[in-house]
């Protein structure tokens, strides 16, 4: 009986001071396992003198029950503590930078340039709208005063999807589409992809344009010039000048090609070391877009929205977004824009 009492005390203090679930399991084996003193005692009860069997059996059982209970409680406590410690250790600090933390990437040069151009025109009072890349012949050509036999409709320039559906060859179809749903005044720019069957260092089958259209009362060629001068200066530097040369587009009359003074040589055509500037080919001017005053025949397709050449006038222009980016960032070959070579893209 004294041994059992001593065993109980020893076991209780060992269990109380155990510091892990593994340690408790060892103690359970030691004190309650098959070879433990307690189990041996309970098994050997029958060999005891008859009057001792009752009290020893009772005490041994009480010790077993007490130790089992204590072990159960300590196991729960320790397991909860171990879980808490594990959770604390595994906690993720969501405020730490991602892994790998450095290269988050950035916008493609064309996207960046498009947004820069949009911002400039938004600042000048224009709205940004977009239109379909799969377009009816009607909007791509007919409403732009391009008659059925015009060479621009020839197969080598245009991707036809069916006899009257094309991949738009320019953003100009959005001129009529926009005027069809909005009466004058209208001030819009239209960025987007356009498609032509063409491929070399300065042509790709897909490229990007930004169309501009302004129709209001008393709009003149001087307004076109002023807007484009503002654009040229915002994009290429405050010292830029613009030059209008006469040109031809079926949907503008008069039509003008617009050049900006060369930002590489300052407009002289020659570099500081006296050599000829190859960017502007020594001319001091760089062509950046086509434009003109909206032809009255175009208004004819949207007259029921209040477009009357006797009452309103306007200008339109179209420029290559990729070309602007090439000029501004010195990209020598348009195809580089669309090859997705990271060594190229990461530079901008
Ligand atoms: N759409 C013409 C082109 O793609 C450019 C242009 C737009 C010309 C608007 C005049 C007016 O070449």
Mean pLDDT of 169-187: 98
SS3 category, 165: strand
SS3 category, 26: helix
pLDDT of residue 14: 87
Assess whether the C-beta atom of 292 lies below 6 angstroms from ligand 1. Answer: yes
pLDDT of residue 285: 97
pLDDT at 162 over 70: yes
Peptide bond into 100 cis (omega under 30): yes
pLDDT band for 7, please (50, 70, 90 cuts).
Answer: confident
Mean pLDDT of 219-245: 97
Q: For strands 242-249 and 127-128, give the pairing.
A: unpaired
pLDDT of residue 185: 98
Widest pairwise Cα distance in the chain: 131
pLDDT at 102 over 80: no
Q: Which long-range contacts (CB under 8 A, 24 or more apart) does 265-273 make?
A: 266/239, 267/241
This prediction's pTM: 0.72
Q: For strands 186-195 and 127-128, give the pairing.
A: parallel
pLDDT over 70 percentage in the chain: 99
Two tokens, residue 23: 């340690």
Query: Where do the domains of the chain lie?
Result: 2-89, 109-345
Domain 109-345 = CATH 3.30.930.10: yes
Lowest-confidence pick of 2-16, 263-277, 317-331: 2-16
- In ligand 1, which atom is closest to the CA atom of 317? 9
Assess whether the C-beta atom of 175 lies below 6 angstroms from ligand 1. Answer: no
Q: Which of 152, 168, 172 to mutate to test the pocket of ligand 1 (most atoms within 8 A of CB)?
A: 172
Assess whether the C-beta atom of 141 lies below 6 angstroms from ligand 1. Answer: no
pLDDT band for 101, please (50, 70, 90 cuts).
Answer: low
């Amino acid at each position: 009986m004294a041994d059992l009492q001593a065993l109980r005390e020893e076991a209780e203090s060992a269990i109380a001071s155990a510091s892990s679930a593994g340690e408790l399991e060892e103690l359970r084996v030691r004190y309650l396992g098959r070879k433990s003193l307690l189990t041996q005692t309970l098994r050997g009860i029958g060999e005891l003198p008859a009057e001792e069997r009752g009290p020893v059996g009772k005490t041994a059982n009480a010790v077993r029950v007490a130790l089992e209970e204590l072990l159960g409680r300590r196991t729960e406590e320790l397991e909860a503590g171990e879980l808490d410690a594990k959770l604390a250790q595994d906690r993720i600090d969501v405020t730490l930078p991602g892994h790998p933390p450095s290269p988050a990437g950035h916008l493609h040069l064309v996207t960046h340039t498009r947004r820069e151009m949009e911002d400039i025109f938004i600042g000048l009072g224009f709205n940004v709208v977009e239109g379909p890349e799969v377009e009816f012949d009607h909007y791509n050509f007919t409403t732009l005063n391009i008659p059925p036999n015009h060479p621009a409709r020839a197969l080598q320039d245009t991707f036809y999807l069916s006899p009257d559906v094309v991949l738009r060859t320019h953003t100009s179809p959005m001129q009529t589409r926009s005027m069809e749903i909005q009466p004058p005044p209208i001030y819009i720019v239209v960025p987007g992809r356009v498609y032509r069957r063409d491929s070399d260092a300065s042509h790709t089958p897909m490229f990007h344009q930004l169309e501009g259209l302004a129709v209001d009362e008393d709009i003149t060629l001087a307004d076109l010039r002023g807007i484009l001068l503002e654009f040229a200066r915002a994009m290429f530097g405050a010292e830029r000048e613009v030059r209008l040369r006469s040109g031809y587009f079926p949907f503008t009359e008069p039509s003008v090609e617009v050049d900006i003074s060369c930002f590489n040589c300052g407009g002289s055509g020659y570099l500081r070391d006296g050599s000829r500037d190859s960017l502007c080919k020594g001319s001091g001017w760089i062509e950046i877009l086509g434009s003109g005053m909206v032809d009255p025949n175009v208004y004819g397709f949207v007259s029921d929205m209040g477009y009357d050449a006797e009452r309103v006038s306007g200008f339109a222009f179209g420029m290559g977004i990729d070309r602007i980016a090439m000029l501004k960032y010195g990209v020598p070959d348009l195809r580089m824009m669309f090859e997705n070579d990271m060594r190229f893209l990461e530079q901008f």
